[in-house]
Chains A and B, each alone.
Chain A
């Protein structure tokens, strides 16, 4: 897997090595150039000294002799080589001397008067004054040619020396750095570890916590790079926490609210078993059935409530006509209403566009109307009005002929499992909680009112209007 620490170490070392290589290359060439200058100058100087010496001292062979005087080249004395050179050479010298070669010619290549022992018998280079590069025994030599009163002197030295010197100089520059690379690598590794400490602090802060701990993570030390990530993480934890808390509360509430329906089922079942007379048993069984229906409805409503939570399913919010939606829901509920002789009166003020989720808004309308039917007497009328509100919202009012909600309970009726008049109806106390939740998800409001003190309940839902298109 990708490692920031390894990546940074590798790239930093690569950059350092590259820059070192460039430095070495540059210093090699710089040194090479300087050494060449120096050597060339020295070569020329050697040539001049040699010519001066040779022409003033009669070391040269007689003019009629065809012999060439061979000048022995100094060789370092090998260890154990006790016997000095028979020609009485000086013992002091330098290993590079072996690489100096010279020839003294009479005329331009007419007669070779003198040569060093390591020089060939043919001319080293064409007879033209100045520098030339030649190849001798497979090695490159630089030749300096000098003409002096009919004598031509050619002095050459091995280019290898120059290469070697320049190389050594460059190496001397680079080597200490190269030795420093492992030290540098170690330091970079340690410093990176130190620099990445906030990351490991975050890791251990997360690793330490138990599964149920959703409190914010605090990282010490932190850093500007890490802080936004930690903030996002804490945001996510907070959202998760809310979600968990909602689930937990819901489960607790649900378990609690199921106790009474279960008690109902149990008691009527026992009554049926213990009943002495048939009609007594029949009553108990009928009650038991009603209890089952109510428990089933409670479970259904709890599921609905759970399903409308955003975590349960992604919602698609789109512009839709609320008037058409209400009409469809009313059509579906009409048979239910007809059973108790109840009817609807729906008067929409034109097309009302809202932005919302079709399924959720359907549940909302269904619950409101269902609630109105339950709390209205038989043969009553449920009024529904839909119109554009004053502040760019759509207002749906559902009015029944039931007792309404007392002002002091206007908020409480939307709480889960709260039943305003629990004796009446077989509601689960969840319908209005579902309504409230859906309204919240749509960014709207809902309120319960009582028209004319204790008679006629009105529920008003306001949803943000969508631009009609």
Chain B
């Protein structure tokens, strides 16, 4: 998933970024509310926004209300504010979930997966598409009942394609799903990952739409 992390605390942000990247998520990290507001009102799209509330320059609640005018990306609030009124206010302002610091990464990831499922219109934990079964929780993939070893990038790429099955995803969209802003990306990295996936699954499973991108039927 491509995740926008809005967190002003340097150490916490670094920790979250590292933890999410390990799971193959592409993390873009902003450190204040004003930047977050501008980024969210731009053209870029994120699969999920991790939003701290106590932000410099613009409060997290303000960022949330602004973005809800034009975006319905899932928002998970991570904050030190633990009062019921704060939670209610956050959820009512358009947040999809609310997590109070300090939290376990396992719980954060589970909530991310749950939000990802809802976004894909599913409730079950596993993703099924034809012969393919994806288990986001364990990062496992099965093809025709046999287990397939995937790297985290491959898994993330496959998830993005399957969740948008029937739609063509552009190169840029897929690259964004794989890499955060701060990462250097080889120009043919995407092709390499697609090539590996076709080899591990079936050559015809991922279809190339020439000049546009890729799709899963």
Name A's B-contacting residues (CB within 8 A): 256-257, 259-260, 262-268, 270-271, 274-276, 280, 283-284, 287, 290-291, 294, 419-424, 426
Contact = CB atoms under 8 A, between A and B. Distances in A.
A287 B14 contact: yes
Contact of B12 (A256, A263, A270, A275): A263
A422 B105 contact: no
B8 A270 contact: no
Given A259-B100, A259-B101, A260-B80, A287 B15 contact: yes
Contacts of B11: 264, 268, 287, 290-291, 294, 426
Contacts of B82: 256, 259
Contacts of B78: 263
Interface of A is mostly: helix
Among the interface residues A257, A262, A271, A276, which one has the most CB atoms of the partner chain B within 10 A? Answer: A271
B111 to A, nearest CB: 15
A50 to B, nearest CB: 117
Nearest to B108: A267
Contacts of B195: none
Contacts of B80: 256-257, 259-260, 263
Contact of A267 (B8, B10, B12, B31): B12
A422 B14 contact: no
B107 to A, nearest CB: 11
B102 interface: yes
B56 A264 contact: no
Nearest to B32: A423
Contacts of A423: 8-10, 31-32, 56
B45 interface: no
Contacts of A268: 11, 15
Nearest to B105: A270
B18 interface: yes
A420 B55 CA distance: 10
Given A257-B80, A259-B101, A263-B12, A421 B56 contact: yes
B18 A263 contact: no
A442 to B, nearest CB: 31
Contacts of A294: 11
Contact of B102 (A259, A275, A290, A420): A259
A263 B56 contact: no
B139 to A, nearest CB: 12
B104 interface: yes
A307 B104 CA distance: 34
A419 B11 CA distance: 15
Interface string B10-40: 1110111011001000000001100000000
B104 A266 contact: yes
A80 B100 CA distance: 114
Nearest to B100: A259
A283 B78 CA distance: 23
Contacts of B102: 259-260, 262-263, 265-267
B27 to A, nearest CB: 13
10 contacts: A264-B11, A266-B102, A266-B103, A270-B104, A271-B18, A287-B11, A421-B56, A422-B56, A423-B31, A424-B10
Contacts of A287: 11, 14-15
Contacts of A280: 18
Contacts of A266: 102-105
B129 interface: no
B151 to A, nearest CB: 11
B167 interface: no
Which 4 A/B pairs are nearest by Cβ-Cβ distance? A267-B15, A263-B102, A259-B80, A263-B101
A256 B56 contact: no
Contact of A256 (B10, B15, B18, B81): B81
B19 A270 contact: yes
A124 to B, nearest CB: 113
A294 B15 CA distance: 15
Contacts of B12: 260, 263-264, 267
Nearest to A268: B15
A268 B9 CA distance: 13
